[in-house]
Amino acid sequence: MQFGDLEVHLVNDGQVHVDVGGAFGLTPRALYRSYFDPDEQNAVPMTLNCMLVRSRGLTILVDTGLGDRLTPEETRRWRLERPDGGLLAGLQRLGVTAEDVDLVVNTHLHADHCAGNTLLQDGRLVPVFPRATYLVQRLEWAEAVNPDARTRGTYFGENYMPLLETGQLELLHGDVELTDQVRLMVTPGHTRGHQSVVLESGTWRGLFVGDMASYAAHFERTGWVTAYDVLPLESIATKERWQAWAAEQGAWLFFEHDPERPIGCLEPQAGRWKVVPPPVAASSAPPTH
């Protein structure tokens, strides 16, 4: 997708299934089942959308998916499917090689967002993107290298410690502007140092939401918080701020995990905000009767 001279693509790393208790937390089933009805394993689909941005000569990758080091048992547990071949194949279809990537942004360091940072080469873990600087918030790094009983199952050093050895890690202290079109904004809640990506081109605005709201429904209904969020009340406050911003700006929202509504804009419907297809996609959709 092209917005002026800003290029933006979602790049899919596959789809997994997760327990609905994790995805919807305290939300009653009677409410979320109109969005996602769990299957016989009590699981709902979760997609893994990374984002590629080209801006002012920089090639920027946001999040790196689940990588290729899952054991057969982990692949089964995640129920990982990659009909299109995963992140690197998706980048290749856009004409992007691993060497082309200048910056890798990790929204946070949970495994489903950064396991594709590194790969095993001749028995050694090395960065997948050899020239890239990897950008992580300092607070996120602190939590990742000191996991607690609850986060130990998702913070794995193999996904980010090799970046230290090669000098490719840059820790960020808050919001930063990568170019005049791409800004990283700290959006705390899911984790303390979670960051989202704001895109601007002319009057167009975009937001790669990350796990500020895993599914579009979490962005519509700010009180719906996943069970993984470490600061649930802060998640709600963060979403209320960004929901107001997105409504005011008419921003395009890019959801990392929503298999049904990966891209949308807010529209008022029956007294609340609803994520609907953006105007361009809507105009090319078949007429409804």
Q: Which residues bind Zn ion (CB under 5 A)?
A: 112, 211
Beta strand pairing status for 6-19 and 2-3?
antiparallel
What's the CA gap between 164 and 179, in Å, rounded? 24
CB-based contacts of 215: which residues, under 8 Å, 6+ apart?
Answer: 23, 35, 36, 255, 257, 258, 261
Beta strand pairing status for 195-201 and 182-186?
antiparallel
Residue 107 or residue 243: which is nearer to Zn ion going by CB?
Answer: 107
DSSP state of 230: S
Please count the residues of the chain.
289
Q: How far is CA 267 from the centre of its chain?
A: 22
The answer to whether the CB of 39 falls within 8 A of the CB of 250 is no
Q: How far is CA 243 from the centre of its chain?
A: 17
Q: CB of 254: closest distance to Zn ion in angstroms?
A: 14
Residue 114 or residue 246: which is nearer to Zn ion going by CB?
Answer: 114
Q: How far is CA 51 from the centre of its chain?
A: 8
Residue 211 or residue 258: which is nearer to Zn ion going by CB?
Answer: 211
Q: CB of 211: closest distance to Zn ion in angstroms?
A: 4
Residue 13 or residue 220: which is nearer to Zn ion going by CB?
Answer: 13
Residue 6 or residue 186: which is nearer to Zn ion going by CB?
Answer: 186
Q: CB of 210: closest distance to Zn ion in angstroms?
A: 8
Find, among 228, 154, 220, 153, the residue nearest to 190 by Cα. 228
Q: CB of 66: closest distance to Zn ion in angstroms?
A: 10
What's the CA gap between 55 and 44, in Å, rounded? 35
Residue 220 or residue 258: which is nearer to Zn ion going by CB?
Answer: 258
Q: CB of 260: closest distance to Zn ion in angstroms?
A: 16
Find, among 269, 203, 213, the residue nearest to 243 by Cα. 213
